[in-house]
Every structure is written in structure tokens, then in C-alpha cells.
Amino acid sequence: MYRDMWQSVGKYMPRVDQLTEVAPHIIEMGCFDRIETNGGGFEQINLLFGENPNKALRAWTKPFNDAGIECQMLERSLNGIRMQPVPADVRRLMPKVKKAQGTNVMRIFCGMNDYRNLIDSIQYSKEAGMIAQGALSITFSDLHTVEYYVDLANKIIEGGADEICLKDMAGIGRPVWLGKIVEGVRKHHPDIPIQYHSHSGPGFAMASILEVARAGAEYIDVSMEPLSWGTGHVDLLAVQAMLKDAGFEVPEVNMNAYMKVRSMHQEFMEDFLGYYINPANRQMNSLLISSGLPGGMMGSLMADLENNLTDLNRWLEKNGKPLLNQDKLLVKLFNEVEHIWPMVGYPPLVTPFSQYVKNLAVINVTQMIKGGDRWEIIPDNVWDMLTGKLGKLPGKLDPELIELAKKEGKEFFTGNPQELYPDKLDEFKMEMDENGWDHGKDDEELFELAMHPEQYRNYKSGAAKEAFVKDLNKRKQEGSGLYKKAKPAPAAPQQTETAMLPQSLFVDVDGEQFKVTLSYDEKEGDANPKKQTVGQESAKEEKGSDNRLEVIAPLSGNFYLTKEASETPVKEGDVVKEGDVLGYIEAMKTYNTIRSEFSGRIEKVIPANGSGIIEDDVLFVIS
């Protein structure tokens, strides 16, 4: 699981030069029938590096194709290979492009296990000449029974799936239970190949692999050191030895080539990838059993958590409260995921819904730590999940959320989700032609823009590579990930008279409450304020002394004026009304709409489109 084993421990996977360097040695190992070469995350990562993902993929798959090893990719049905739903014609184009680029097997999953989402991608993949592997997104609840999964497998096989995958993305499937699912599928479809995918984090995986193999699974997904175990996948050598001992025919491993590949992976990590790998992801954690969070998102989760912790501690410090460490925040997050999962309808915790539930949990925890309530901020993508726009939830939505949806004016949708995301390729063709951009071989550049509009534009402008290089240099200088430098213990704070003075005051002006924040000169004993900020206590907008209104960022992330090609960005001088969309904050791979809570004229747009912002930054000035 080459793509996934990197994603499961960190944020990035190797550059194209590293991929093509290691490929011949992976082939020389002699034990793999398939290599997961690409899928969710691959193209975005190339774009972030400033690399062309289409050239990278063709170069990466070629040696495997030449050696007769199948190249497998991961596809998210309605979401293609991104976090948001994809226009219908872009979905149809994707398998054609990926087949031409050297990918043979399309593993298709839907985080809702919605048959309607799965069947479209199965048909598109078969039309392109790919092997269509329908995935069962495995989770464990009273709703997700053996019968539930066997019935789903029967439906998608009847709909054209060539193979079945048990995608145990969190590794929480119980071994015997998984064996019964394989037996059920095998009973109805004795000749359908079955592949098992698991992450090792909670600790069930080795026993699960033995059970599904005994029940009739032919393909087993594995990883290798120094990236196996932890939140990643089980190790190749351990699985090979276990199955061999159990009497199965398994390929031998060329250990000389194995050690070469292992050594190269270590070099890649020391080059730059290790700076994006949180050490906690190298550990197994049984807390994952109850939270059900998948291994594939733990790499990005720990990176996100680092940013969330920084923002949260900044607020706690400002308000004179004890700071949190990452372990305490992680436990709070796991507990919140376990609490809200039934309330949001038991979506299997797999991309993108694992991120949606996790993000909702992070926001809830953050708001409650600050003295707020659960559900104060619900991102747009999460609302789409809750209201049926991404597929049918397996369980029932909690009445509290139904009532909140009505209050927010959200409408529930029961039709086929693809109806809401019609064809858009013509718009992207027009954009490419206006910019003088080539559509690429087999329309691959057109596809890339249509699948990842913002990332592709930033790649073409050079902004993506510039940001990546800047971030990497900062991490190397300061230390992060596996190479995080120990910070010296802070000196004990000296008690001064000013330290005892209040830092915030609440004042009433003509019946309207404002918070006044004070800071002081550093000269000992000087209690004269050197700066005064006055703002409405709403975290949404602030009123300056000249009656101008400031729209404030409710959370940290990346700021965008639009999220769809069809949207027209607001600009300085525009007149806006209360409720108008001003822009979006993309945080933890979900979009949060920023709306104006008042009417007026946009005097200034502060952040640049696509730039990083932190909570409480001023986004717009409106007069």
C-alpha cells in the first residue's frame, strides 16, 4: 500500500524522483502482485510540491506495468479523489485518464456505503477498461452487521463490480466477524476475488488477516518498515511468515531488495518526509477501537492537531487558563468522536466522513474548552453530510441536529446525490483556453484542474511550490515531526504589579457590550496601557472606533474568496447584505462559509486569496 503507508503516518509521500528511484527495487523484492501507486492525496501532494501530477504518475506506474505488476488506485465515488463532490462529467473522465496513465485497478468506496454513489464509479471504471473493485467501508456498530455488508457486496457485484475489498480503514473490524463477511460473500460469489485492507493501529489486524485468509480472501494489503505498524498497515514480513506457517501459498521476499527499499525509505524521511511525521503515528493505540478513526487520516490528524493546539493554547494563555498538551487534547477528541458519531447517523469513518466527524469533534472540543457549546460551528461539508447531499446516512440523525438544521434553514435531500453536482467540464475548458493552458495528453491537465481547481491554479502560478519550500525550510530550521527539537524549559515568570492587573475589561456603551483588551509597556512598574483594542464579544465581527465593522476569522485555516469556479469573488467596493457569502476558510480539509452579519460596503479585503490565517484575524473591513 505504497501511497497509503506514507499518508497513514505523515502528510506527504515521496517526490517523483524518489518514486522512480525506489520502483525497481520494489519490483526486485518479488512479492507484490499489486502496488497502490496513487489515489486520494496523490495528485494534491504533487501539486503542493510544485510537480506535475500527471507526469509523476506516468513515470511512477511505468516500471510496474513493464514488470507485469498491477497498479491500484483509491477512488472516493461521489468525491472522486478529493474531499468534495465532483461534477458528473469529471467523474466519467477520471478512469479514462488514470487508465491511460498506467493504473489498472480502481478501488471504489463510498464513506456512506451508498449503493448509488458506488455503482456510477463502477460503471465508469469498467467503461475505461479498468478492474472495478467495489469496497465495503468497514465499521463496527449495531447497524453494521454481517448481513448488512454481505447484502451490500451482492448489490455492487450485481451492479458490475469485478472484485470486492473489505476496507477496514480504522482496523476496528473484529477478526471472526470479518471472516463471516468474507464467507458470506464467497458463498454467493465463489469466483469473485476478495482483497482485505486494514490498519494496524487498534491491534486487531494480524488476527483479522488470518481469519479472512481462511475464509477465502486472496489479496492482503501490507506495508513495510520503517512505515509499517502504528497508524499504518501491518508489516509484510510478519504477514508473510504468519500465512506461510498457516499453510498458505505466499511469495518469497528477496531480502536484499527489501533492505535496499527500507534503507531508501529512511533516506526519504531524513530528506524531508520525516518532518511531517508525528512520532505518535509510529505507535499503536487501542483508544482507536472506540473512536474508530481510520489510520489513513491519522497522519493529517496529528498535523492538524498541532495547529489546533497552538491556536487553543494561544487563547488559553490570553485568558489566563492552564495550557493543554497534545495528549490531553487527543483524548478529548477521541471521546468527542465516540459521543457524536451516533448523533450524526453512524457514517463509516472513512474519507471524507472521518475527517468531517473528526473536524466537528475538534471544533466542538475547542468551543467547549472556551466556554461555548457543542455545534456552535458546523462546516459546510458537514452540513452536506447531515442533510443527505452526499448520500444516505446509515443511521438516524439526532433530533437536536434536525432542529438545528431547521433553525439554520437547511433542507434535507433524499434524491441521488449526483443530481446536485452536474457537468462542469466546459467551464474548466474555457478557463484553460483563456489562460492558454494545454488540455494535456488524454485531457489529463484538464482533469487535474477540474478535480483540484485551487491547488492546480496555485501550482501553475508557482505559489504552491513557494509555500511548500518556505514551510519545509521552517520545519528543518526549527525541527518538527520525527526530528522535533526539544524546547528548553521556560523561565519562571517574575511576579510584577502589572501581572496582577486585569488584562480584559467589559464596558457598556449605550446598551452595547464591548470587550477591552489591555497590554502594558515592558518597563517595570509602568502600568500605562500602550495598546487598546475594542471589539464586540461575538468572535464574528468587531466595531472599530470609527464605526467600521471588521469581519473576524472564527477559526484558523486557509482563506479563499471562492470554492467553486462558478462563484464570483467579492471585491473592495462591493455592497453586501446581511447573510451574503464573503468567502471561505478551509480548515482540516473542510470549508467554512464566512457570511456577512450586517449590510454595508466592503472597504478592504485583508488576506490574499489562498493565504493562511489564524483565529481572530481580520478578514474584511465593512463600512
Residues 622, 546: contact at Cβ < 8 Å?
no
pLDDT at 509: 47
Q: How confident is the model at residue 271 (pLDDT cuts 50, 70, 90)?
A: very high
Question: What is the extent of the structural domain holding 307?
Answer: 288-397
Q: Between 12 and 129, name the one with better pLDDT.
A: 129
pLDDT at 294: 60
pLDDT at 524: 38
Domain final position from 354, 377, 397:
397
Q: How confident is the model at residue 74 (pLDDT cuts 50, 70, 90)?
A: very high
pLDDT at 322: 86
The answer to whether residue 265 is domain-embedded is no
Q: What is the pLDDT of residues 370-405, one digit of tens each?
A: 888 899 888 888 999 999 999 999 899 999 999 999
- Burial class for 524, CB neighbours closer than 10 Å (0-12, 13-18, 19+): exposed
Q: What is the pLDDT of residues 134-154, one digit of tens each?
A: 999 998 888 899 999 999 999
- For residues 505 and 391, membership in a common domain is answered with no
Among the residue ranges 53-62, 69-78, 298-307, 583-592, the one predicted with the least confidence is 298-307
pLDDT at 541: 47
Q: How confident is the model at residue 310 (pLDDT cuts 50, 70, 90)?
A: confident
We report the CATH number of the domain holding residue 541 as: 2.40.50.100
**Residue 615 Cα distances to 213, 295, 305, 312, 556, angstroms:** 49, 28, 15, 9, 5
Among the residue ranges 468-472, 476-480, 514-518, 583-587, the one predicted with the least confidence is 514-518
Average pLDDT over residues 293-310: 65
Q: Provide the 10 A C-beta neighbour count for residue 334.
A: 20
The answer to whether residue 462 is domain-embedded is no
pLDDT at 500: 42
Q: Provide the 10 A C-beta neighbour count for residue 523.
A: 10
Domain final position from 376, 397, 418:
397
Average pLDDT over residues 566-579: 86
The answer to whether residue 563 is domain-embedded is yes
Q: How confident is the model at residue 293 (pLDDT cuts 50, 70, 90)?
A: low
Complete DSSP assignment for 292-337: ---HHHHHHHHHHHHHHHHHHHHHHHHTT-----HHHHHHHHHHHH
The answer to whether residue 529 is domain-embedded is yes
The answer to whether residue 279 is domain-embedded is no
We report the CATH number of the domain holding residue 377 as: 1.10.472
Mean pLDDT (the chain) is 86
The answer to whether residue 55 is domain-embedded is no
The answer to whether residue 379 is domain-embedded is yes
Highest mean pLDDT out of 176-185, 410-419, 606-615 = 176-185
pLDDT at 553: 85
Among the residue ranges 22-31, 87-96, 101-110, 287-296, the one predicted with the least confidence is 287-296
User: How many structural domains is the chain composed of?
Assistant: 2
Q: What is the pLDDT of residues 497-531, one digit of tens each?
A: 444 444 444 444 444 444 454 444 443 334 333 33
pLDDT at 491 over 80: no
Residues 77, 117: contact at Cβ < 8 Å?
yes
Average pLDDT over residues 414-428: 94
Q: Which residues contact 319 (CB under 8 A, 6 or more apart)?
A: 504
- Burial class for 298, CB neighbours closer than 10 Å (0-12, 13-18, 19+): buried
The answer to whether residue 392 is domain-embedded is yes
What is the rounded CA–CA span in Å between residue 247 and residue 250? 9
Domain final position from 375, 397, 419:
397
